[in-house]
Structure 1
Amino acid sequence: MFVNSTEKIWTYNTTLNLGYICKMDLMCNITNDYIFFNRSYYMNHTYSKILKGTFDRDNINQMMVAMPGMEVQTVEELIYSTANYSCGIFYVTSGMASTGWYELRFKDYMDTDEPDMACVKYFEALRIPGSVLYNKWCKTLFLPKKLRD
């Protein structure tokens, strides 16, 4: 399962432009039914929120995402991934949007700051203009906080 990872999952490219950059997901807790994760991004300063993803029993690659105790905000479906889940293409729908959008997400295991070329080619084959959200500067935004004395 793509989201079952202790690695930061970065959104490299998206076909939806909301004006933010450096979108990153980090798992907090996962079970067979749901995942709690921290979603962060940057738009003039950093934002972060805890979200709950509930897995679809009929489609292992799909989850309904919401703030805990709130209505579903998005449905996120993994439609392509590399065999080792280092990157994937997600189709995301929202009740607020008339159509969905695509996101290329990756885990930077090898510290290359780039997703696997197979995911890049798949995303480009969609032939939908995208916005790059990730650059290596993003990693500096979400470093662990120093302990205070």
Structure 2
Amino acid sequence: MSNWLDEIHWNADGLVPAIAQDHKSGRILMMAWMNRESLQLTVDEGRAIYWSRSRGKLWRKGEESGHVQKLHELRLDCDADVIVLQVEQLGGIACHTGRESCFYRVYRDGAWQTVDAVIKDPHAIYEHKGHSHE
């Protein structure tokens, strides 16, 4: 693999946190993990590919939901331990709950309050897939 991957400070599990951000609005859509292979494939294929810790395998965002993240730009933070993917979220839904973003709750008055509506029923997104989310 290329030298650019060696510049990343991978954690003890060989992973780096990856934040998906809408390339136009700047809104944070989600956070997931990437390993060397998923990051290389993301660049090669021009779409977000993460590492699923729960399933122990590559996770091509949208492989089950159809909500693919098209890569526009890749950024590395100053400590080289966090990746930001500037993406175009096809279908407008990044979260398995059917919302635009996984960050749909705001802390107010001592409690988490849901502030974003469901765009598409998650059961309709995954009804034929046998999974509750990606």
With structure 2 as the length reference, what TM-score do the two structures score? Answer: 0.32
Structure richer in helix, relative to its length: 2
Structure richer in strand, relative to its length: 1
With structure 1 as the length reference, what TM-score do the two structures score? Answer: 0.30
